[in-house]
């Protein structure tokens, strides 16, 4: 294993790569930042279900995986940013199209996405991103919490899509990484919330955060018990079916799982009962950081364990085990 100075600037770095169907720790040159981009030395990352899906072959991605990160700016066009601790929005738009010009590169047709589409990701010692994507992390938020900014932002997207009032009946389906964060974020609205899951030990984590829970097999699916808003975050087609069954007539159903493959659904319920389906992906980072600063969302109990980047392959296996919530990768050199 190499020492920290052997990985210093302008030499090689470690990168957890998915190449030709194989996950491996590679040694690569430190990337060169393109125009308008910053080079970030990554200090900590989180493993997300999307990473697990990529190594199952979803999205046809080849390269360095990972998109949930916190790091320190090594170089940037704006010198004031150098040395700052940052997190970063993962979508990098072309900057020229109508969507980019209107300030929303998340849906740019030519976008690259950190560690997901056409851009090397965060499970490496260094990454590059447009400077505009970076947000400085307030000092009071430790790396272990800051690394959750991206998935918390994804949860916050729901707040921008649906007006959730106090007392509104809301169900979140799925007790995994994302479902847990969504429940914590929606819980800040004062809505009448329940998290529905499969694993008692995961539901306990939510209960510790004062969130009502129920095991999926014990859910009352009587029509009178249906919810105003249901968020599907199970990652399974069966979860989608249940989500439809739990949404009241005129209610809203937010889809957070990215299934690969087709899902069979009974559209008649959606039409007859006028249920609105809402696709939901990335959200605003500033709002997520506010929730971390205020302490309204505390992601730390969701950390199942922490590995070093050198153990990245083993960490990915662990992250896919049932019962495991969040696995973090510590990028500090061990020797």
Residues at the interface with Zn ion (CB under 5 A): 48, 50, 93-94, 97, 100, 108
For residue 273, give the H/E element and its range: none
The whole-angstrom separation of Cα 264 and Cα 241 is 9
Q: Which is nearer to Zn ion, 13 or 48 (CB)?
A: 48
Could you tell me the two tokens for 41? Answer: 């030395």
Shorter beta-carbon distance to Zn ion: residue 93 or 197: 93
Least distance to Zn ion, CB of residue 168, Å: 26
- Minimum distance from residue 297 beta carbon to Zn ion (Å): 16
215: left (phi over 0), alpha (psi -120 to 50) or beta: beta
Q: Pick between residue 64 and residue 247 the one whose CB is nearest to Zn ion.
A: 64
| Complex with Zn ion: residue 276 or 304, whichever CB lies closer | 304
C-alpha span between 295 and 302 (Å, rounded): 14
CB-nearer residue toward Zn ion: 191 or 292: 292
Minimum distance from CB of 278 to Zn ion (Å)?
19
* Shortest CB 49 distance to Zn ion, Å: 7
**E-strand stretches of the chain:** 12-19, 22-29, 37-46, 63-64, 68-75, 85-88, 91-92, 112-114, 118-119, 126-130, 134-136, 169-173, 192-197, 212-215, 227-232, 247-255, 276-279, 303-308, 326-330
CB of 246 to Zn ion, least distance (A): 25
CB of 27 to Zn ion, least distance (A): 25
Residue with smaller CB distance to Zn ion, 235 or 251: 235
41 backbone dihedrals φ, ψ, rounded to 5°: -85, 115
Q: CA 204 from chain center: how many Å?
A: 21
């Amino acid at each position: 294993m190499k020492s920290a100075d052997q990985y210093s600037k302008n030499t090689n770095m470690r990168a957890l790569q998915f190449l030709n169907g194989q996950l491996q720790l590679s040694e690569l040159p430190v990337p060169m930042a393109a125009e308008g981009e910053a080079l970030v030395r990554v200090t900590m990352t989180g493993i997300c279900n999307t990473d697990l899906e990529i190594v199952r072959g979803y999205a046809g991605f080849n390269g360095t995986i990972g998109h949930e990160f916190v790091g320190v700016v090594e170089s940037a066009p704006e010198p004031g940013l150098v040395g700052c601790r940052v997190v970063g929005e993962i979508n990098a738009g072309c900057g020229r199209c109508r969507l980019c010009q209107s300030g929303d590169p998340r849906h740019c047709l030519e976008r690259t996405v950190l560690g997901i589409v056409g851009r090397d990701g965060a499970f490496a010692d260094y990454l590059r991103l447009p400077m505009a994507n970076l947000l400085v992390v307030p000092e009071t938020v430790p790396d272990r919490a800051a690394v959750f900014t991206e998935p918390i932002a994804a949860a916050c997207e729901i707040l921008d899509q649906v007006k959730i009032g106090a007392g509104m009946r809301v169900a979140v389906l799925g007790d995994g990484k994302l479902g847990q964060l969504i429940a914590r974020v929606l819980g800040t609205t004062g809505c009448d919330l329940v998290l529905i899951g499969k694993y008692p030990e995961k539901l306990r984590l939510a209960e510790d955060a004062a969130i009502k829970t129920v095991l999926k097999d014990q859910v009352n699916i009587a029509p009178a018990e249906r919810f105003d808003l249901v968020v599907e975050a199970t990652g399974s087609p069966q979860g989608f079916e249940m989500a439809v069954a739990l949404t009241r007539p005129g209610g809203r159903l937010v889809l957070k799982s990215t299934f690969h493959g087709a899902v069979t659904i009974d559209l008649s319920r959606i039409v007859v009962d006028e249920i609105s389906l809402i696709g939901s992906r990335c959200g605003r980072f500033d709002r997520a950081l506010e929730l971390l600063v205020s302490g309204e969302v505390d992601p730390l109990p969701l950390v199942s364990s922490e590995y070093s980047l050198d153990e990245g392959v083993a960490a990915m296996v662990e992250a896919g085990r049932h019962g495991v919530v969040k696995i973090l990768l510590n990028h500090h050199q061990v020797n």
